[in-house]
A = this chain, B = another copy of it.
Amino acid sequence: MTRPAPSRPALRDDVRIVDTTLRDGSHAMAHRFTESQVRATVRALDAAGIEWIEVSHGDGVGGSSFNYGFSGTDEMRLIAAARDEARQAGIAVLLVPGIGTVDDLRRAHDAGAEMVRVATHCTEADVSPQHFAAARELGMQTCGFLMMAHKTSPADLAKQARIMVDAGCQAPYVTDSAGALLMHEARARFEALVAEVGDDAWVGYHGHQNLSFGVANSVVAQEVGVRYLDGSLCALGAGAGNSPTEVLAAVFDRLGVRTGLDVGRLLDAAEEIVRPYLTRWPKMDRNAIVQGWAGVYSSFLLHAERAAERYEVPAHDILRRCGELGYVGGQEDMMIDVAIALAQELTA
C-alpha cells in the first residue's frame, strides 16, 4: 500500500459547505429516499451553488441492513441519479469501515461518487487507512469523520486526525454525532486539529442541533480556520438535525464570509423541495435534547423510539441510559437490551 502525499484541494470560497441532506437526512427519513426526491434535491442544491452533495444510506454505503435499517431504494441507484442531475456539484458518499467495504466504495465510485467521507469512532482512526488508500487510488477526494468527538480530548482527537491525514485524508472532521459539543469544547477541538494537520489538510466540522449549537459552532469553526462545514436543508438529519444549510448560508452572508451560495435559492429549496417530503421536521424535542445533554449518538433516535414502543418504556430514558453506558455508533442493537432492562426495572 503506497501512502498518498497529504494534499489540500484548492478552495473556491472562504468556506466549503458540504450538504448532507441526502445522507444524514436519510436517518430522519428512515432511509426511504426515492429517486425523484434525490433528483429534485440535487437539482436545487446544484443551482444554489453547493459544491459537494453527500448521498447514501444514513450509515454510509452498505448500511442497508437489518441492524441499521433497509434502504427503500438501492443507494447506488440514488448516487447515479444524483450524479446525473448535478451540473457543477460533485457527489460524495459516507463510508463507515465495518459497515461499508472497499468493494462498496468501488461500486459507489462507478455510480458517480467523486468524494468519500470515511467515518470512524473518534478514537479508532486506525481502521481507516486502507479505505483512504483505496479512495485515493480511485482518484476520489477524501474527508475523515472522527465521530462522537466529545468523547475524547482535543489533543487526542488531533492525533487521530493526524493518522487519517497521513493515510490520505484531505479533510479530517470534528464530527459532533451527539450534538453535544458546547462552544468552548468545539473551539478547543477545532484549534487542536488546525494546529496538528492545518499545513497538510483542511479541517471540517459536522454539527447537530440537539442543543442548537450546530450553526454557532460553525461560526466559531470558521473563525479559527476550519474550512469544511456540513449542513442539511431543513436541518434534515439525525437527532434534532444538522446545521441547516440555508441558515449557514444566511449567517455567513451576514458575516461577509464567502460561501459561493445563493441564500434565496437555498431558502426556496428547503421550503419548496425538501419540506413537502419531510416525514418529520427535526426538532429539539425531549429525545434530541437528551442526546445532546447526555452525549448520545444522534442516529440512535429512531432506534430508541422503536425499542420504546416495543418494550413500553420512554425513549428518552433509553437514550439517557445509553449515554451513561457510553454506547457509540455500531451498538444500535444494545438498545434492545437497555429497553428490556428498563422495562424490568419498571415492573420490579
Which A residues lie at the B interface, using CB under 8 A? 182-183, 209, 211-216, 219, 234-235, 244, 246-247, 250-251, 253-255, 263, 267-268, 270-271, 275, 281, 283-286, 289-290, 292-293, 316
Contacts and interface: CB of A to CB of B under 8 A. Distances in A.
Contacts of A271: 285-286, 316
Contacts of A285: 234, 270-271, 275
A212 B244 CA distance: 10
Number of copies: 2
Contacts of A183: 216, 219
A287 to B, nearest CB: 9
A268 B275 CA distance: 28
A255 B182 contact: yes
A163 to B, nearest CB: 29
Given A214-B212, A283-B283, A289 B219 contact: no
Contacts of A281: 281, 283
Given A183-B219, A212-B216, A293-B263, A284 B253 contact: no
B284 A247 contact: yes
Contact of A211 (B213, B250, B270): B250
